[in-house]
Amino acid sequence: MKNTLLKNCIVAIAILLLGRADLNAQTFDNLDSGKPVKPIVYSQFGFLQNMGSTINGSVMDQLPVLAPNGLSLYFSSNRTGGLGAQDIYVSQRPTLTSAWGPPQNLGLALNTSSNDTISTLSPDGLGMFMQSTRPGGMGGADIYITTRADTNDDFGWTAPVNIGTPINTSSNDYFGNLFLDPKDGTQTLYFNSDRPGGMGSNDIYQSLRNADGSFNPPSAVSELNSSGSEERTSISRDGLEIFFSSNRLIPTTDQAIFVATRRKTSKRWSEPDHIENLNSSGSNAQPLISDDGTLLFFVSNRVGGFGLGDLHSATRVSVKRCAVVGSSRDGN
């Protein structure tokens, strides 16, 4: 075991040093000029694993969201017994080393007879961004927010509220992801939309949130978008990495997971790079980085799964933390 861990550390250090070797002061300047540059290679992901039959069913299970405390795993599914075509579920565990329990439908508080799916939790775990096609919205799919008073109460969510204009439109708007900048406390909402005027069929947008909770008119994150379709975003707590999936590699693969980086939260994102070892088999999409940055959750239809889409996890191998199989935030 010690030899294996030492080998992982050496490989990770080599990868990190090689990745940083291409980045000089001129490269960083290119971030502001808009010229595409290579992303900083912080680390690689390994120890890929299907999250098992307790979580995954024979249908489409997707959009994994790990709560900040690591004890609740939210996701969306069209499994039988739900209230609509897609419902939001949660699986719980008593400790970080315990197995995940059977998924539970979050019920009428969040789910309807329409498509209701989760996107992300707020950094403090008290807010949830979700999307729904329920009646009364502004478009095909709208972004909603629901809150709770207790981070340990997975069934204490309030009735979802449509966040309205200028975020939601008559088009499809979804995958809201609120980033809280640790440097200055500003809040930026990242989301996806197929509204007219984009580069592709579904683009990534951002909107600065005001002190009163309202949002400014969104703008496209041009350095991340392509002529294809981008799906969901997940940002590391320090704001220096952003993960998303895209079909820009068709016909090589359908959806693939990409990462982009930046030197500071005030800088532009680098040129996105697909995470090759995660995209080596099947369609891989909807990444979610854990709160501590050690695990990447995603959905995949790779061979050996249980349904049309299964939840998977991959462990980060880094210089400061060499991952151990069965770590405290292990996906199983």
**C-alpha 265: how far from its chain's center?**
18
* pLDDT given for residue 317 in this prediction: 85
| Domain residue ranges of the chain, discontinuous segments joined by + | 2-317
How far, in Å, CA of 206 to CA of 209, rounded?
A: 10
- Give bridge partners of residue 313 from the DSSP assignment: 49, 297
Smallest Cα–Cα separation from 300: which of 255, 249, 237, 258? 255
Please say whether the dihedral angle defined by the alpha carbons of residues 112, 118, 123 and 124, taken in this order, is positive or negative.
positive
Q: Characterize the bridge pairing of strands 203-209 and 219-220.
A: antiparallel
The arithmetic mean of pLDDT across residues 157-172, rounded, is 97
pLDDT of 255-294, one tens digit each? Answer: 999 999 999 999 999 999 999 889 988 899 999 999 888 9
- The model's pTM is 0.85
In this model, does residue 36 exceed pLDDT 80?
Answer: no
- Judge: domain 2-317, CATH 3.30.750.200: no
pLDDT of 186-210, one tens digit each? Answer: 999 999 999 999 999 999 999 999 9
Smallest Cα–Cα separation from 103: which of 310, 325, 317, 327? 310
Vertex 38: Cα angle to 35 and 40 (nearest 5) = 125
Smallest Cα–Cα separation from 43: which of 324, 283, 321? 321
Instruction: Find tokens 């069913």 and name the residue.
Output: 57
